[in-house]
Amino acid sequence: MKSGFRHQGCLYGSDAEFLAMAVPFAEDGLRRGEPVLVTTPAANLRLLHAVMGADADRIAVAESDYFGRRPSQVAGALRRYWGRHRSTAPTGTVRVLAEPARAGSGDEAAWQLTEAEFNVALTGTRIWMLCPYDTRATAPGVVEVARRTHPEYVVDGEPRPSAQFRAPEEAAGPAAATPSRTGEDLFRFEGDLVAVRRHVLERASALLRSEDTATLFGIAVGEAMAYLLEHGIDRAAVWVRPAAGRVVCTLHSERPVAGPAFYGPRAAARPGTTLWMTDRICEWLDVSSDTAGCTIELAMRQRPAEVPHPGRG
């Protein structure tokens, strides 16, 4: 078996096809002594239990609706699962069958962000992740996204390279759908948190779903700025714009941040040095830091466009 993180997709169109994919994946893992986690809708969990019998009790299960909706949540949960169980596996590998909770929504941008994030966030682990997509309920655009974000596809039980796969650095994030920023778009943060929050809210409020949502967005941006200040960064460019159905705020400093960005529950014990609240508030959060500097990007869903009423001018 390949070493490192392995990310596969699979399409199925019936209960029989789901079982033909899921049962061998789980049973092979159990035979090898590899911990197996299955997160899928409740109906599929019942199918697996009916077919696998007592072996199903040796599998960790979770309904996908309750497993987490944002990339950082799911990736963090999978990393923790691998960290807890890798020492018990002879190969050091854990298997995860992870069916998206809302793949039928037709939100192609959201699923591209989610699946592409796994290719980055889970690098360095020995997780074998198989992502099933039910073609009876999944929008065609989401299926195409799945083909672009999985290096391999399982067809008739055999893994095949995906010709449509795009490497993580090529995958589009929220900013990719927008034109390059101009000097007029940028706000230069120079240590004044009140000024930067005012700037963000002036541009975001009309785009977000409600006044409460705008307030939360401002809190999230404020914590991100405080995070930079805590790490000695008091200069940054701030850019707010709509993209892919979301309102996106990008914060960029030419100075990198040393150390990891804390997202998970343990971050709550480190107020002022983490992005815990930002991660809880926002639908999308991404942090990168290298020799080119530090970039924090966060996003919340945009207000739906108003549909003209028939007969109105």
Counting beta carbons within 10 angstroms of the beta carbon of residue 306, is it exposed (0 to 12), middle (13 to 18) or buried (19 or more)? Answer: exposed
Q: What is the pLDDT of residue 265?
A: 44
Burial class of residue 160, CB neighbours in 10 A (0-12, 13-18, 19+): exposed
pLDDT, greater one: 182 or 301:
301
Complete DSSP assignment for 147-203: HHH-SEEEETTEEEE-TT---GGGS--GGGGSPPP-TTT-EEESS-HHHHHHHHHHH
The DSSP bridge partners found for residue 96 are: 37, 129
pLDDT above 50: residue 193:
yes
Of 140 and 22, the structure prediction assigns the larger pLDDT to: 22
- Considering the chain, what percentage of its residues have pLDDT values greater than 70? 77
Sign of the C-alpha dihedral computed for residues 275, 280, 281 and 283 taken in this order: positive
139-174: pLDDT as tens digits: 777 778 778 888 898 888 888 888 788 765 444 444
Q: Are 148 and 3 in contact (CB under 8 A)?
A: no
Q: Is the pLDDT of residue 266 over 50?
A: no
Are 121 and 285 within 8 A, CB to CB? no
pLDDT at 177 (0 to 100): 37
**Given this structure, which CATH class describes domain 6-170?**
alpha beta
Domain residue limits, the chain: 6-170, 174-301
Q: pLDDT value at position 268?
A: 46
Q: Tokens 């150390």 correspond to what residue?
A: 259
Q: Which of residues 295 and 166 earns the better pLDDT score? A: 295
CATH superfamily of 174-301: Histidine kinase-like ATPase, C-terminal domain (3.30.565.10)
Share of the chain above pLDDT 90, in %: 22
Q: What mean pLDDT do residues 301-307 have?
A: 66
pLDDT greater than 80 at residue 244 = no
* pLDDT reported for residue 264: 45
Q: What is the pLDDT of residues 271-283, one digit of tens each?
A: 555 788 888 888 7
Q: pLDDT of 81-112, one tens digit each?
A: 888 888 888 989 999 999 876 554 445 455 56
